[in-house]
Amino acid sequence: MNLRLLASILLTSVTAFAVAQNATEIVRKADEMMRGEKSSYSEITMRIVRPKWERSLSFKSWSKGTELSLVFITSPAREKGQAFLKINREMWSWNPTINRTIKLPPSMLSQGWMGSDFTNDDLLNQRSIVVDYNHSIAGEEQVEGWDCWRITLSPKPDAPVVWGKMILWITKKHYLILKSEYYDEEQNLVKTELAHQIKVVDGRTIPTLYELLPADEPGNKTIVELNTIKFNIDIKDSFFSLRNLTQVK
């Protein structure tokens, strides 16, 4: 084989590998920017908006790494005490009203969380966008004046994920996900998430308000506001347990 041709093939292969690695690294950094490199704790208000009504709920959320997360509902009163736990790929919910812990089957991952436009998978499956998808840089665009990479996420074979494809717009500065599009297996747009109100919180620059807009339900949206967030806190693995699921406050 011609040495020049061989060198060209090798250079093309190395370049393609580097681009793939860069895209994955960008997604990983963006994920860690909001989740913390080790752990995080947040207090959140969610407003579910519909054409004829709206309601709000508040909750606390703890996470450690990509495999452990726990969410506890603090209001309204009728839903206070409900909690959700993820350990590795397994998820459970606790309802104090019926005094029962339920393991969530994979079929429930795509269902709306607490009646919102977020799914159980969106709220609990911390590892998904980094581990379960292949990443590629599809271009560069501006979002609200920020220079961004547009990165396509395609699910890996047999990955237990809800989405057939995702597209993320991640800022070149601070690695912030300012826009996300979620597609079903037929590549139809299902919903769009937009990030707003970028502030310095606990030493890092992050969005503090998110809007989730379903593609085929005009007038419907879910708004999430980060009231408090702390990164890389000291938290033991034992905190994320079925026992603590029923006792956390």
- How much is the pTM? 0.84
Is residue 46 assigned to a domain? yes
Does the pLDDT at position 9 exceed 90? no
Could you tell me if residue 78 is inside a domain?
Answer: no
Task: Answer with the residue of higher pLDDT: 18 or 228.
Answer: 228
Give the Cα separation of 128 and 249 in Å (integer): 27
- Nearest Cα residue to 137 out of 47, 24, 2, 248: 24
Token pair in block for residue 162: 């809800």
Do residues 151 and 23 make contact, with C-beta atoms less than 8 angstroms apart?
yes
C-beta separation of 154 from 133 below 8 A: yes
- Has residue 95 been placed in a domain? no
Here the CATH number for the domain that contains residue 150 is 2.50.20.10
What is the token pair recorded at 6? 């061989």
Q: Which of 23-37, 49-63, 114-128, 143-157 has the lowest mean pLDDT?
A: 114-128
Task: Give the alpha-carbon dihedral of 132, 137, 139, 145, to 10 degrees.
Answer: 70
Say if 135 falls within a structural domain. yes
Structural domain containing residue 202:
3-65+125-233
Q: What is the pLDDT of residue 222?
A: 97
- Note the pLDDT of residue 14: 37
Is 83 contained in some domain?
Answer: no
Name residue, tokens 């104090």: 96
Mean pLDDT of 22-49: 93
Find the mean pLDDT for residues 199-223. Answer: 95
Task: Please report whether residue 101 resides in a domain.
Answer: no
What gap in Å lies between CA 97 and CA 100, rounded to an integer?
A: 8
Q: How many domains is the chain partitioned into structurally? A: 1
Q: In percent, how much of the chain has pLDDT > 90?
A: 69
